[in-house]
């Protein structure tokens, strides 16, 4: 396992005189309408240096934008242009990162800077020390902007160790040290943002590492051990239920899914208790549940071979919840947080559960199984019922639950279902974190379509029609939440895994979604109850 070894610090001295390998500046594309474009005589007029770049620009005697334009710079988001400084400033390289058009009267959106910082730091792999002089507004948005830049820089440096037997000469090591240029490096607020970003980025990297680990190396018992070891080290209380304990406890859903595998299922419970006695928020209890299918073959209702390898990421929800708890242990918010991680491997075998089975779940409800590939809701429902039994004021669950989420919302936007107010808070937290979500309904007709002839509910629509696939997941899970508990189900089937080339702070493989949303939400609940 790897965590980012990249360190982050603040500097406030002249960027032109910093002894680093590269200084990163922001570059805007100029808003030019068709008419003015025709009249552009100077290519440099299409570019605008972002605030923060002033002293570097001065060292270049006003010729920096012109040179960047000749190098092909356009200032579009994600663009990285490297320029040798040959003694003009102390650093041998100046790197211009595109920020898109300059927003009128404001600093760029935090998410723009998060992505830009990541692109620049990734492009500089192999360099030891890098300074970022990106815009920081001098108003109340400064904290959010600095946090985003810091997170982006660290997440862009993320790299999974992988399994190659020989080192790859073309894969340069991540940047070792990033310095963020700010007006005042001794400012306590700025220092707190950098400290938080470091904890958050480490948590995201943890979640990514677990997701990226090969599924033969991460089966329920070893996943449980890996999580438990990290959690104990972080000072969290840990409880692991093995297959005997699950049987004794009546966790029918987790056992049914896990019974087809030679590696037995687990339920891991991690808890953080704030030591700040008193206060309304401190008495709130947040339960987080994450789906931990270490590999999803579909079971007897087996999946097609093409792309099945990506189902090693079917434990991304559990990885995110575990990583969130690790960060919570360090950030110490004034709210109690408990994580529930049901873990199972969904395999076809002579012992597998089958379509037609009726399973008695942890809360006593009976479920008619129609498709063994809808396994996530079976294990997550038991964990949600357990969380409600333990008692909680908020229940947030996240799972790679349905392909329907990807069809409906794509690879970037997660679906959220549950009680209205909590869904809105999840959405706001996701927006602040740069992890967008969109609310989805729980319609009566979808529930009706899941009525069972023989049991209390079918696991999926009996006609197996794919209509409202994502919603069926939410409607099913609702049955396992105690009355009056505000709850939210975040379907992350798309956003939890990135199959394409690296972009922004997303590297190939696990993304760590929704760790940052969950941490933002925990902060919100700690502050506002
Ligand atoms: N793990 C999958 C959902 C998934 C699909 C995650 C694509 C990530 C990317 C889940 O267990 C599953 O198989 N869902 C089925 C449910 C169906 C059989 C009712 C699906 O969405 O097709
Ligand atoms: Mn499945
Ligand atoms: Zn699954």
User: pLDDT tens, 275-295?
Assistant: 866 555 558 999 999 999 999
Taking CA atoms only, the protein residue closest to ligand 1 atom 19 is 374
Ligand 1 pocket residue status of 314, Cβ below 6 Å = yes
Which strand (E) or helix (H) includes residue 281? none
Q: In 71-187, which ranges are continuous DSSP H helix?
A: 110-123, 142-156
Question: With bands split at pLDDT 50, 70 and 90, how would you rate the model's confidence at 215?
Answer: very high
Q: What is the residue-averaged pLDDT of the chain?
A: 95
Ligand 1 pocket residue status of 404, Cβ below 6 Å = yes
Q: Which residue has the tokens 């972009």?
A: 503
Ligand 1 pocket residue status of 493, Cβ below 6 Å = yes
Q: Is the pLDDT of residue 4 over 90?
A: no
Q: Is the pLDDT of residue 489 over 80?
A: yes
Who wins on pLDDT, 173 or 283?
A: 173
Ligand 1 pocket residue status of 474, Cβ below 6 Å = no
Q: Taking a C-beta distance cutoff of 8 angstroms, is the pair 114, 68 a contact?
A: no
Q: Region 401-429: what's the mean pLDDT?
A: 98
Report which ligand 1 atom has the smallest distance to the Cα of 464: 19
CATH for 218-354+373-441+469-528, options being 3.30.2450.30, 3.40.630.10, 3.40.50.300, 3.30.565.10: 3.40.630.10
Q: What's the confidence (pLDDT) of residue 262?
A: 98
Q: Is the pLDDT of residue 3 over 50?
A: no
* Dist. CA 519–CA 419, nearest whole Å: 19
Who contacts 295 (Cβ-Cβ below 8 Å, separation ≥6)?
215, 219, 311, 312, 314, 345, 346, 347
80-113 pLDDT per residue, tens? 999 999 999 999 999 999 999 988 877 789 999 9
CA–centroid distance, residue 195 to ligand 3 (Å): 35
CA–centroid distance, residue 484 to ligand 1 (Å): 29
Q: What's the confidence (pLDDT) of residue 45?
A: 84
Q: How far apart are the first and last CA of the chain?
A: 36
Q: Taking a C-beta distance cutoff of 8 angstroms, is the pair 324, 377 a contact?
A: no
Question: With bands split at pLDDT 50, 70 and 90, how would you rate the model's confidence at 259?
Answer: very high
CA–centroid distance, residue 345 to ligand 1 (Å): 14
Q: Region 12-22: what's the mean pLDDT?
A: 98
Q: Is the pLDDT of residue 304 over 90?
A: yes
Q: What's the confidence (pLDDT) of residue 162?
A: 93
Specify the CATH number of the domain 7-201: 3.40.220.10
Q: Is the pLDDT of residue 306 over 80?
A: yes
Q: What's the confidence (pLDDT) of residue 107?
A: 79
Q: What's the confidence (pLDDT) of residue 1?
A: 42
Question: With bands split at pLDDT 50, 70 and 90, how would you rate the model's confidence at 463?
Answer: confident
Report which ligand 1 atom has the smallest distance to the Cα of 298: 13
CA–centroid distance, residue 373 to ligand 2 (Å): 4
Q: Taking a C-beta distance cutoff of 8 angstroms, is the pair 160, 113 a contact?
A: no
Q: Is the pLDDT of residue 426 over 60?
A: yes
Give the domain ranges of the chain.
7-201, 218-354+373-441+469-528
CB-hemisphere CA count at 13 Å for 528? 9
Q: What's the confidence (pLDDT) of residue 41?
A: 60
Q: What's the confidence (pLDDT) of residue 158?
A: 96
Who wins on pLDDT, 32 or 12?
A: 12
Ligand 1 pocket residue status of 402, Cβ below 6 Å = yes
Beta strands in 232-308 (DSSP E): 237-241, 266-272, 285-290, 292-296
CB-hemisphere CA count at 13 Å for 110? 17
Distances (CA, A) of 398 to 75, 376, 517: 37, 10, 11
Indicate if 303 belongs to the active site. Answer: yes
Of 403, 414, 462, the one to substitute when testing ligand 1's pocket (max ligand atoms within 8 A of C-beta) is: 403
Q: Is the pLDDT of residue 69 over 50?
A: yes
Q: In 10 A of CB 362, how many CB atoms?
A: 24
Which strand (E) or helix (H) includes residue 96? strand 93-101
Q: Which residue has the tokens 């001794």?
A: 186
Q: Taking a C-beta distance cutoff of 8 angstroms, is the pair 300, 375 a contact?
A: no
């Amino acid at each position: 396992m790897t965590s980012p070894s990249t360190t982050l610090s603040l500097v406030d001295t002249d960027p032109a005189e910093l002894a680093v390998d590269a200084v990163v500046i922001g570059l805007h594309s100029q808003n030019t309408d068709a008419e003015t474009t025709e009249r552009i005589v100077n290519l440099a007029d299409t570019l605008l240096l972002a605030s923060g770049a002033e002293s570097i620009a001065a060292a270049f005697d006003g010729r920096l934008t012109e040179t960047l334009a000749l190098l092909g710079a356009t200032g579009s988001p994600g663009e990285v242009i490297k320029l040798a400084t040959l003694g003009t400033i102390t650093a041998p390289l100046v790197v211009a990162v595109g920020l898109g058009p300059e927003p009128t009267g404001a600093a760029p959106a935090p998410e723009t800077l998060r992505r830009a910082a990541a692109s620049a730091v990734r492009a500089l792999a192999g360099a030891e020390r890098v300074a970022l002089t990106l815009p920081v507004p001098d108003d109340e948005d400064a904290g959010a902007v600095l946090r985003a830049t810091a997170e982006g820089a660290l997440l862009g440096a993320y790299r999974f160790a992988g399994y190659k037997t020989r080192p790859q000469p073309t894969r340069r090591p991540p940047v070792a040290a990033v310095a963020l240029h700010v007006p005042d490096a001794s400012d306590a607020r700025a220092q707190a943002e950098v400290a938080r970003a470091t904890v958050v980025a480490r948590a995201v990297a943890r979640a990514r590492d677990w997701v990226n680990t090969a599924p033969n190396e991460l089966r329920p018992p070893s996943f449980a051990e890996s999580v438990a070891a990290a959690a104990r080290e972080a000072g969290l209380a840990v409880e692991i239920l093995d297959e005997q304990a699950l049987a004794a406890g009546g966790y029918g859903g987790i056992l049914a899914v896990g019974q087809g595998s030679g590696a037995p299922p687990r339920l891991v419970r991690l808890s953080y208790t704030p030591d700040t006695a008193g206060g309304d928020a401190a008495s709130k209890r947040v339960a987080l549940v994450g789906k931990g299918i270490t590999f999803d073959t579909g079971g007897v209702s087996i999946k097609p071979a093409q792309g099945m390898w990506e189902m090693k990421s079917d434990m991304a929800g559990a990885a995110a919840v575990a990583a969130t708890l690790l960060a919570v242990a360090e950030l110490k918010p004034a709210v109690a947080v408990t994580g529930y991680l049901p873990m199972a491997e969904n395999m076809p075998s002579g012992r597998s559960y089958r379509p037609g089975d009726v399973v008695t779940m942890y809360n006593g409800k009976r479920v008619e199984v129609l498709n063994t590939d809808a396994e996530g809701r079976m294990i997550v429902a038991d964990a949600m019922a357990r969380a409600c039994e333990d008692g909680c004021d908020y229940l947030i669950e996240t799972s790679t639950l349905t392909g329907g989420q990807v069809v409906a919302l794509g690879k970037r936007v997660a679906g959220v279902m549950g009680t209205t107010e909590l869904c809105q808070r999840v959405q706001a937290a996701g927006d602040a974190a740069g992890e967008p979500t969109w609310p989805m309904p729980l319609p009566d007709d979808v529930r009706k379509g899941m009525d069972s002839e023989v049991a209390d509910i079918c696991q999926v629509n009996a006609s197996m029609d794919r209509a409202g696939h994502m919603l069926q997941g939410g409607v099913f899970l609702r049955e396992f939440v105690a009355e009056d508990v505000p709850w939210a189900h975040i379907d992350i089937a798309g956003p939890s895994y990135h199959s394409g080339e690296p972009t922004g702070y997303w590297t190939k493989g696990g993304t760590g979604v929704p760790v940052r949303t969950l941490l933002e939400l925990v902060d919100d609940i700690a502050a506002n109850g």
